[in-house]
Structure formats: structure tokens, C-alpha cells
Chain A
């Protein structure tokens, strides 16, 4: 392992440890509630990034998979009369349900590219929302309730928190594995130039579809966990257009197609949004703020906070080395140091 890798692994370890200790230090239920929802968004944003970030196919319809997972858990818990911690076993099954839905969605949507793809994912979102409001199995617009477990109020959030943490760590590890694998390379080749990638022997359709199904599986699990945590399922909240935008904003904010970017984006923006919602009783203020923040990110940080920060760090390093180099002898030294620094940052 090279030195930067060790540093990164240590950083990730510290972050996970801090996350694991978080509910023990901050026992206030409001705070751990924020923690659960934030971790769920870490999962969803990373999962979205595995498909959209790596392949370049921007999906604005991941709420379809999130909602499928959510409704699967609610309906299955009701039909099989499950309660308490047993319901957690439905979470991976809900992921499978979302993955099954992703296959036909992908087979239709992945035939087209760019705008048309984005628009079709939006259309699938509306189909899903419409179905949830009209089918009898989802209880229509009157919604469904999940049996609330009778855990102690003080530590009620903790089981949700730790399950979300486990899924989040697994998702980021998976994202990392995908990134360094042949499969991840194929995805990024598709992002850069699909026709050329196909010409070089990448079987584009199976690769894209696999990424979408993988992403949908994780998103479905997150949706199932979320709905059990919330305790109720209404079509307009389970299939929420703002959900899609929030996920995309978080990924863009942190850095699209990077490993840590989506995690960072979710860790910063979701608590901020939850806090804003807590401050204001009306929804429109946060909607306006959210839209404005989105515009600021797109206009001024189009490549995300992490890549932009890395650029600044590199520029600062170069400036520092230039300043240090007073005599020609030091210039040569600084030059070799400069290359090694550049290597470690990028």
C-alpha cells in the first residue's frame, strides 16, 4: 500500500469509528433521528453515484427504487404479520424487489442517451407515483402504516442507526471496489464516449444495466429502512420529486463520480436541510433556499467541493514551492518535491 492509501484508509476508519460512537455520545433522540436520515442519504447518494456518477447517465428517477423498497417492506410486514426487529429481515428482500423493478426500467430507458434518458427516468418516476396513488395494494392516497416497535423511547433510534451505518459502510466499500475494478473502468469508458467504448469491446448494455440494478438494490434497501423508521407510507412522500433532486444535489455538491464526494455531500447537506426544516414550519422557504443553493453549486462549483478543493490545494502547493525556491539549487529540489506532491493529491 502506498502512503496516501494508508492515510485514506486511516481517515475512513476514524470516520466510521466516530459514526459508530455518535449515538452513544449524543443521546438526544432529535439528534440521532438526524443521524439515521443522514446515513440513509449517504447510502442513497453513494448508490446513485455508482450508476449515474460512474456511467454518466443522469438518473432523476431513483425515487422509483426507493419507493419500491419502501412499499415492499410496508406491504410484506402487513401481509406476513411481522413486527419488531423481525421486520429488518425484509430490508434486503426490499432491495431485491427494487432490483427486479430496475430490469425493465433499465431495458427501456438505457436505450436512449443524454436528455432523453433523464426525461424518461422522470417519466418512470411519475408512473410509479401514479400507480402508488391508484393501486389497492399500496392503500392508495390514504397511505399505509408500519407497526411501530415497542422499544424504549430513549434508544429507539439506535437499531435503525446501526443498520443504516452498516449498509452505508458496505455501500461505500462496494463503490470503492467498483471504482477500481474492470467493471468500473468499463462504466467510466461509457461515460467518456459510449460509441468508442463499444468499439473497443465493452458490451455497453449489460454493463449499464448491471450498474443500474446494483444501484437500485441498495436504494431499495435504503427506502425500506427509511419507511420503517418513519412508520407510514403515503404516495406523495414515498415518491417525492424533491428526493431525486436532493440526491443529485448532494452528489454534485461533493463531487460527481468520486468515491468520497457523495458521502461528503450527504453528510453536509442532509443535516443542514433537516435543521432548516426544524427552524421553519412552512415548506416553501426551504424549497427556495434549496433551489438557490442548487444554482450556486451548478454555477460556481460545477465539479463539486472535493475536486475544486483538490485543485486549490494543488495551486497552493505550487505557489508555496515557487515562493520557497529562492536559489536555482532549491528549484531543482522543489521540482522533484512538486511532482511527488502532485502525485499524492490527485
Chain B
């Protein structure tokens, strides 16, 4: 029993890394653009299918394939922003952008169904089935690789945000868009690139998700987005650090409940969210701005 619990905690923390990465992308987009990108779930699935095409048809290793899928997802993100988000202005922008993202998600889902059908597929490589033996329990290699990738990507995100001029522009736009415009920041460009970066992380998320989930279909996007939304709400909208903590907390809690009640483990996500919201409507690490109209 104790061993099972330790195993669940280890898997929860390692699996939480990849959710943290996907949620960080969502939070970054929210912080800069004031948009909930509800297409994030299906974009992860799209990333997974891109990796699938590269590995099955072109026999490119999953990790090497990331060199192609990450830029590809970046371009897709910029395109979505430029075509469907940027033209939306005015008082109803908040709800409009959310609905636009939902519509984009539907179209992507439809296209994926058309191309790949509704059969489960999964990503395989030599490291998706092997595992290492550490401290008395077995950890699948892919969990360690996924966690490593997540840490790398989040570190890169951090360095971009806090050590580059572009990152400074992004943070300025997060704080006050009008002021950022006044000091000469091209807010449209910053927004487009931010949306691209927030989307690019789904390539990594999708690859790891496709390998550890044991199979995915175009329909998997709903499961993903519901978890991601629960994570960012629990963390508090716009808090990247909070998203990391919340993701690890959620996946660990889910893995623990999974030992006794497998079919209800997903409910932990929502239950935790509802409880937190009744006590702290702004989320664990949220700013009060989340409540302002």
C-alpha cells in the first residue's frame, strides 16, 4: 500500500510537469491577451497527431520530430491569432474571443476526424515502453523524459520572459496595454508572438500526452481542456507560477484517488476547483483583477 502511494505521488509529480507546461501556455495567453484559449486542448491533440504523422509515415523519432512540430504549432498559433482573434474589438471582446477559440477548436476537431477517424492511436518509440528502477519503484522512461522536457520548456519560457527585451515587452503588455503602446511597443506583434509561444508548447505537451495517455482520438481535446481550465482557475487566472503548483497538485491528487476510485479520479480536479472558488474566488495565486468586470 505504502509503495503504491509513493508510486502514485511520483507519477503524479512527473505527469504534473507536462500539464504545468500546457497550463503555462494557457496562462501566458490569458495574461497578455486577456483571452481564454479554449482551443488549447485540441491544439495539444493536434500536436500529438503531428508527432504521430512524423513518426509513422516519415519514421522520424518523436524527440527529433519536436524540432519540426514546435515551429509548426508556433506558426499555427500566430495564424489563429492574426485571422480570428485580432479583428475582434469592442465591449464584447471577452466573450467573443472565447467563442472564436471554441469555433476554431471545433474546426480542428472536425478536420482531425476527417483525416484520422475516431480510432485510438498512440505514440511509440523505444523509450515509451521501457522503465527505470529507482528507490524501489519502477518509473516509465517516458514520464522522466516528459518531465525533463517540461522543465526545459518552462525554463526557456522563464528566460524569454525575464531575460530578453521581447520578454520585457510581453510583461509590460501584461501590466498595461495602453501604456505599453505609448512607450512604443507593437502590441499586435507581441500578442501574435505570445499566442504563438502559448500554442508552440502544445507540440511538446501533445507528444508526451500521446505517449503516456495510452491512446488518443480527436475527442481527447475535451478531456484535456477541462483539466487545463480547472488548473488555471485553481491557480488563479494569469499566474504562471501558480499554474505549475496547481498542475502538480491536481495530477498528484488524481493519481492518489485513482488507487481507490479509478472512475471518479477526474472529479478531484473539479471538486478541488469548486471548493477553492467558494473560499477564494480569485483562485490560489490570482490577482483581484480576475474579479473586476
* Chain A interface (Cβ < 8 Å from any Cβ of B): 58, 60, 108, 111-116, 118-120, 122-124, 126-127, 130-131, 133-134, 193-195, 241-242, 245, 248-249, 252, 256, 282-285, 287-288, 290-292, 294-295, 298-299, 302
Q: Which residues of B from 94 to 125 have beta carbons under 8 Å from A? A: 94-96, 98-100, 102-107, 109-111, 113-114
A112-B277, A299-B88 given; A248·B99 CB < 8 A: yes
Residues of B within 8 A of A (CB): 30, 34, 36, 38, 84, 87-88, 90, 92, 94-96, 98-100, 102-107, 109-111, 113-114, 222, 226, 229-230, 232-233, 237, 263-264, 266-267, 270, 273-274, 277-278, 281, 290-293
- Chain A residues whose C-beta falls within 8 Å of the C-beta of B222 in the assembled complex: 126, 241
Shortest CB-to-CB span from A208 to chain B, Å, is 13
Cα(A343)–Cα(B61), bound, Å: 68
Are B96 and A114 within 8 A (Cβ)? no
User: A291 contacts B226, CB within 8 Å?
Assistant: no
Q: Which residues of A contact B278 (CB under 8 A)?
A: 108, 111
User: Are B109 and A287 closer than 8 Å at their CB atoms?
Assistant: yes
Evaluate contact between A134 and B263: CB separation under 8 angstroms. yes
Q: Is the CB of B233 within 8 A of A119?
A: yes
The answer to whether A294 touches B99, judged by C-beta atoms less than 8 angstroms apart, is: yes
Residues of B within 8 A of A193 (CB): 293
**Nearest-Cβ distance from residue B246 to partner chain A, whole angstroms:** 14
In the complex, chain B residues whose CB is within 8 Å of the CB of A122:
38, 226, 229
Known: A116-B233, A123-B273. 5 other contacts (CB 8 A): A58-B95, A111-B281, A127-B270, A252-B99, A294-B102
* Cα A252 to Cα B100 with chains together (Å): 12
Please name all residues of chain A whose beta carbon is closer than 8 Å to the beta carbon of B270 when the two chains form the complex: 123-124, 126-127, 130
Chain A residues closer than 8 Å to B274, beta-carbon distance: 108, 123
Question: Once bound together, how far apart are the Cα atoms of A120 and B232, in whole Å?
Answer: 11
* A290 and B113 alpha carbons, distance in the complex (Å): 15
Q: How far is the CA of A122 from the CA of B269 in the complex (A)?
A: 13
Q: List 27 A-B contacts (CB under 8 A).
A: A58-B95, A58-B98, A60-B102, A111-B277, A112-B277, A112-B290, A114-B94, A115-B237, A116-B237, A116-B281, A120-B233, A120-B273, A122-B226, A123-B230, A126-B270, A127-B270, A242-B106, A256-B92, A283-B113, A284-B114, A285-B114, A287-B113, A288-B107, A294-B102, A295-B84, A298-B96, A299-B87
Is A115 in contact with B293, judged by CB distance below 8 angstroms?
no
Contacts of B267 on A, CB cut-off 8 Å?
Answer: 127, 130-131
C-alpha gap A249/B99 in the complex (Å): 9
CB of A104 to closest CB in B, whole Å: 9
A221 to B111 Cα, complex, angstroms: 35
Given the complex of chains A and B, what is the CA–CA distance between A58 and B131 in angstroms?
46
**Which of B38, B104, B226 is in CB contact (< 8 Å) with A126?**
B226
Q: Is the CB of A287 within 8 A of B98?
A: no
Selected from A116, A282, A295, the residue in CB contact (under 8 A) with B100 is A295
**Other-chain contact of A284, B94, B110, B226, B263 (Cβ < 8 Å):** B110
B229-A119 in contact (CB<8A): yes
Residues of A within 8 A of B98 (CB): 58, 115, 118
CA distance A84 to B131 in the complex (A): 60
Select from chain A the residue with minimum beta-carbon distance to B232. Answer: A119
**Is B88 in contact with A298, judged by CB distance below 8 angstroms?**
yes
| A154 nearest CB across to chain B (Å) | 37
Chain B residues closer than 8 Å to A248, beta-carbon distance: 99
Q: Are A291 and B107 in contact (CB under 8 A)?
A: yes
Of B36, B100, B290, which contacts A298 at CB under 8 A? B100
Q: How far is the CB of B159 from chain A (nearest CB, A)?
A: 28
- A297 CB to closest chain B CB (Å) equals 9
Query: In the bound complex, what is the Cα–Cα distance between A130 and B273 (angstroms)?
Result: 15
Please indicate the chain B residues that have their CB under 8 angstroms from the CB of A242 in the complex. Answer: 106
Contact B87 A291 (CB under 8 A): no
A194 touches B107 (CB 8 A): no
- Contact A302–B226 (Cβ < 8 Å): no
Residue of B nearest to A123 (CB): B270
The 4 closest A-B pairs by CB, nearest first: A291-B106, A288-B110, A287-B110, A294-B103
Taking a contact as CB atoms closer than 8 A, the residue among B38, B113, B291 that contacts A113 in the complex is B291
In the complex, residue of chain B having the shortest beta-carbon distance to the beta carbon of A288? B110
- Contact assessment for B290 and A290 in the assembled complex, using a CB-CB cutoff below 8 Å: no
Q: Are A299 and B281 in contact (CB under 8 A)?
A: no
- Tell me the smallest distance from the CB of A114 to a CB of chain B, in Å: 5
Contacts of A252 in B (CB 8 A): 99
In the bound complex, CA of A298 to CA of B103 (Å): 10
Residues of A within 8 A of B113 (CB): 282-284, 287
Contact residues in B for A126 (Cβ distance below 8 Å) = 222, 226, 270
CB distance from A242 to the nearest CB of B (A): 8
Using CB atoms, name the residue of chain B closest to A52: B95
Q: Within 8 Å CB of A295, what residues of B? A: 84, 100, 103-104, 107
Closest to B113 in A: A284
Task: Provide the residues of chain A in CB contact with B290, threshold 8 Å.
Answer: 112, 115-116
Q: Which B residues are CB-close (under 8 A) to A299?
A: 84, 87-88, 100
> Please, how many angstroms separate the alpha-carbon atoms of A327 and B280 in the complex?
68
Contacts of B281 in A (CB 8 A): 111-112, 116
CB–CB A302/B92 < 8 A = yes
Contact A123 B293 (CB under 8 A): no
A34 to chain B, nearest CB (A): 23
Determine whether the beta carbon of A112 is less than 8 Å from that of B102: no
Interchain CA distance A113-B289 in the complex, whole Å: 10
Measured in the bound complex, the distance between the Cα atoms of B208 and A41 in whole Å is 41
Indicate if the CB atoms of A115 and B36 lie closer than 8 Å.
yes
In the complex, which residues of chain A have a beta carbon less than 8 angstroms from the beta carbon of B103?
245, 291-292, 294-295, 298
Asked whether, in the complex, the Cβ of A302 is within 8 Å of the Cβ of B110, the reply is: no
A116 to B286, CA, bound (A): 11
